[in-house]
Structure 1
């Protein structure tokens, strides 16, 4: 029971990150209309990439340090850091300020995720990695869904600045809970693990995993965050009103939240890597269905839910596979490496959508680009499924 309480606190941390990260997509239509800012879709996409640049830096910088000296201090410090800069985003007076604050917040977001994932893996039984990571990573779409639902109520009356303030206040509350009740890993209570060089990631038995896991993660992060950034605007371009467009974003994250548990249940029969590949494939097929323009709104919403379930499950299970593939002394380093390289996809995705739209190719081409990246992610996990740790 104590283990699941600790996992629940870790999940709350991920919820805070999910809200503070994904809220930008819900705010995008409002930011494009902000007086005096004169944002284009391309510049708004570049601005949206700032947080992901910070996440790349944070993921690569902190994972190794926590492998050497413990998890809890880095979880608390990272949450405090991204909370501070999320609140600062609410008072940004110009686009460059918002971009700078989002980049700084992204450093904390990128730092906390590999550490909190490694901590949860070490607090949980070894045979429950898939279930624990699914519970934990459900916090990202839960935070995104909260951002979308909050936007439906707050944006018409309070504007986009209030949305950042709400995220900051909620993160402060979660930080207090983590400070009071989050334990450290048993591996770091009173002693540090035997140091292992980070170069061991590329040892012969780990080399393929160290190269392909990040590539799979890159493709799925590009797909997931690209959709989270642009889906609301894409739906408006397809002539849906703002409230309906935000509902599509809500369905995307609701599908991720609920569908990931169903797909995680398959890991009881199949390997985690194979289910990750299947999840990525379902994502690509769901996007293909949207590209074909189904006439029914119900069908369209169902496809959006399938995309959310598939993309988020693939990300969960890629990370779970990484956690199982590496020893304790390399675990956060490996997760940080996988997430850090993967963040290149998250950095590209907002700009990619903006470039395609600015080129006049339309929302269908944006969806098509993300379909291709999802299918490439499936191919990567299929390759790893044929390895010795299937």
Structure 2
């Protein structure tokens, strides 16, 4: 428990205050701003995939030679997440968020000046550091401004921005590249976050962070009045009621301390396995379907159905998490993903059946991966929340890197679509098991912390 000192008597728990008042226009504004940040993140993450063919054509190189460029951002994402979490838990979410959005916008714009593979690789790596820092901090900031009973759904609505931004990257590439060349995609992808970062100056710091760090009481009152103009605000002290038993530790130490260690490791394992499946499927699905004897058009259409179900999955599982045990809900999503992916391998007889299974797999895949961020935000206390969310993202990225490279290795070794899809069910089942274990661990009375 953390107190904000003042001579006055009444104590308001800021989370309880948020839970008891209706969702204000101010909170909708914070949700909208975080949605835009995540959309810009999605656009800049996906942009390289859409421009790769045009870059390869201009530089007269095979698309496969762009491997380092495609994986550089993933390495940067991992590093950005691991660095940004502990910094945000020390100096605040807002400053790190503004800095990271400006940083990835700047380096996306720098890609315009690249003249060879190595320059583009370095610029994409630096872009990745900013992208890796932005998402966990947007997650943490928003989670600390929303009512507990709707937290998972509202966070998952924010994550839909990523899917929307990535789709916008494809549309922008299709519209801009024929007339203005591939560099124009990076001009847009750089200008939007830089302008957004300037607009973020108006964004407030996390209310819970301000309270546990003993910020000036008037700053806290000012923000609370924007949520609800309750007369009690003027004469109260503020607190955050939660388990702060490890608040003397560093955020990384707290995340790995006894009450949180098992949950931390299961979150890392599940997110790693989820990204391994996600990147293997998204990187190699068109090739796998083509190799199985389907036409190029069929392969493209079926692959497009995989991300199409993402928004639906995020909303369904976010809604369920607020009503049922969150860990079990996400475990169920991974379990259904494993079944769907396994069935894709076994039942690839017709385009129709493959299309339905791909859509179902996409709903479960995106629903599970997006809900993992909400799950981490729900799991950690305020003083180590940014670190907890960010480190799960950072560790998971290595699963993504393995997935992006591993699919190619399996294809080169001559394995069939049936074998690779069936094999991909295994990490999904491991992720489900890890989260069921987490739910069981949290249910033990000694560890029931909030």
**TM-score normalised according to structure 1 size:** 0.88
Q: 1:38 and 2:92 equivalent?
A: no
Q: 1:145 and 2:145 equivalent?
A: no
Deviation readout 1:22-63 (Å, 9 max, x if unpaired): 2333445555655432343xx544432211111111111111
Q: Which runs of 5+ in 2 are unaligned?
A: 1-24, 215-246, 445-450
Q: 1:131 and 2:153 equivalent?
A: yes
Deviation, structure 1 residue 9: 0.8
Structure 1 counterpart of 2:205? 184
Change (3 A) 1:226 1:282: same
C-alpha separation between the residues in 1 aligned to 2:309 and 2:376?
24
Deviation readout 1:69-91 (Å, 9 max, x if unpaired): 11111111101111122222244
Structure 1 counterpart of 2:78? 56
Structure 2 counterpart of 1:266? 320
C-alpha separation between the residues in 2 aligned to 1:152 and 1:235?
23
Q: Which moved more, 1:64-73 or 1:150-159?
A: 150-159
Q: 1:120 and 2:174 equivalent?
A: no
Change (3 A) 1:287 1:27: farther
Residues 294-333 of structure 1 correspond to what in structure 2 (within 5 A)? 294-333=348-387
Deviation readout 1:105-160 (Å, 9 max, x if unpaired): 11011111111111011111122221122112112222222223444444556554
Q: 1:89 aligns with which of 88, 111, 123?
A: 111
Structure 1 counterpart of 2:100? 78
Q: 2:278 aligns with which of 195, 199, 224?
A: 224
Change (3 A) 1:301 1:171: farther
Deviation, structure 1 residue 13: 0.5
C-alpha separation between the residues in 1 aligned to 2:179 and 2:411?
29
Deviation, structure 1 residue 290: 2.5
User: Is the partner of 2:259 in helix, strand or coil?
Assistant: coil
C-alpha separation between the residues in 2 aligned to 1:234 and 1:26?
19
Structure 1 counterpart of 2:307? 253
User: Is the partner of 1:269 in helix, strand or coil?
Assistant: coil
Asked if the contact 1:283/1:374 (under 8 Å) is kept, the reply is: yes
C-alpha separation between the residues in 1 aligned to 2:68 and 2:340?
26
Q: 1:109 aligns with which of 131, 139, 151?
A: 131
Structure 1 counterpart of 2:29? 5
Q: Which runs of 5+ in 1 are unaligned?
A: none
Asked if the contact 2:149/2:322 (under 8 Å) is kept, the reply is: no
Deviation, structure 1 residue 362: 4.9
Structure 2 counterpart of 1:172? 194
C-alpha separation between the residues in 2 aligned to 1:222 and 1:252?
15
> Which one has the largest radius of gyration?
2
C-alpha separation between the residues in 1 aligned to 2:262 and 2:414?
39
C-alpha separation between the residues in 2 aligned to 1:235 and 1:97?
33
Structure 1 counterpart of 2:47? 23
Deviation readout 1:198-245 (Å, 9 max, x if unpaired): 212222211101211111111112222333333445455565447x65
Cα RMSD of the aligned pairs, angstroms, is 2.7
